Amino acid sequence: MKEKIEAILEEVENFSAKSKEHIEEYRIKWLSKKGEITVLFDDFKTVAPELKREFGAKLNELKNKAQEKINHFKDVFELQNQSSFQDIDLSLPAEHGTEIGSLHPIHIVKKEIIKIFEDIGFTLSEGREIEDDWHNFTALNTPEDHPARDMQDTFYIQTNPEIVLRTQTSSAQVHLMENNKPPIRTISPGRVYRNETVSARSHCQFHQVEGLYIDTKVSFADLKQTILYFAQRFFGEETKIRLRPSFFPFTEPSAEVDISCTICKGEGCNICKHSGWLEILGCGMVDPQVLTNCGIDATKYTGFAFGMGIERIAMLKYKITDIRLFFENDVRFLKQFQSA
């Protein structure tokens, strides 16, 4: 056994690894369950009692030196790999083209809408998504018995019925009116929530952009011209608009705005249900009571307001027929907007 130990010890001391595979080969040869050193430990029980102390010390020395040798060359090759990585010039162009990401269509359309209104002097005001009853309903002239307050339309915070997930971004405008004096010209984009059944045409969460202009002598003609400017900037110079009488608690008079169909150019098709028109937003003159609620002198100032769903505008822009696609994060759908 003594000769075998000395022979393996000499082999260990002279060992020089050429590769990681070479290291693993000799680790298995020496230290695996059937390795030469492991076998010597198994044979140790046959050594005479008076020689166990001497042979035990030699075996432990052999095992430790073999393990140290293996660890040494592992460290050497690890350092070499790190050094070769550090030598890489990270400024060199990649061998393959980098895949370009894409903006979400809602983000694209929101930015375009904001830019159009910023060009005519509207500032940006974004509010909070969790609101109190006053800013979401009462200040906007929505009485307690109004259908919009019904649980079927609004998400209420269960622990506090006075707190809701906002149903419209108009609440941001209430905060603005309470803390600023006219003239006020602002748009409020953001996410809103309504307790509605999810379908191809509606969702429990969506995005709005609402606009507000308050000053002396603001008229319905100003509102109409602003909407026409937006429609022709966004959908094309040939776009026509029409206003239909409607009702909103916070505006009087109120109107729904249609544009001439962008698909058939007003001739009639399946998209516009052969009417030649597509609805895009609601609008109206701010109700004097809303101004009073927000601390603005309704005898001196007038204003108009409008609101549009960004998903609705995006569906018209990109000819998308199912609103659920905006929220499903399907890469096949999102990749279509890479160049946008």
User: Tens digits of per-residue pLDDT, 133-178?
Assistant: 999 999 999 888 877 777 668 888 878 888 999 999 999 999 999 9
pLDDT for residue 53 is more than 50: yes
Q: Which residues pair with 57 in a beta bridge?
A: none
Q: Do residues 210 and 168 touch, judged by C-beta distance below 8 A?
A: yes
pLDDT for residue 129 is more than 50: yes
pLDDT for the residue 185: 97
- 300-315 average pLDDT score: 95
pLDDT for the residue 88: 65
- 70-84 average pLDDT score: 73
Helix (H, G, I), strand (E, B) or coil at 153: coil
- 129-136 average pLDDT score: 93
* 3 state SS for 17-79: CCCHHHHHHHHHHHHCCCCHHHHHHHHHHHCCHHHHHHHHHHHHHHHHHHHHHHHHHHHHHHH
Band (pLDDT 50/70/90 cuts) for residue 291 is very high
* Alpha carbons 170 and 127: distance in angstroms, whole number: 9
* Rg of the chain taking only CA atoms, in angstroms: 38
Global pTM value = 0.69
Which amino acid does the sequence have at 280? I
pLDDT for residue 13 is more than 50: yes
User: Tens digits of per-residue pLDDT, 187-204?
Assistant: 999 999 998 889 988 899
pLDDT for residue 322 is more than 50: yes
> Quick check: bond before 189 cis, omega within 30?
no
Band (pLDDT 50/70/90 cuts) for residue 96 is low
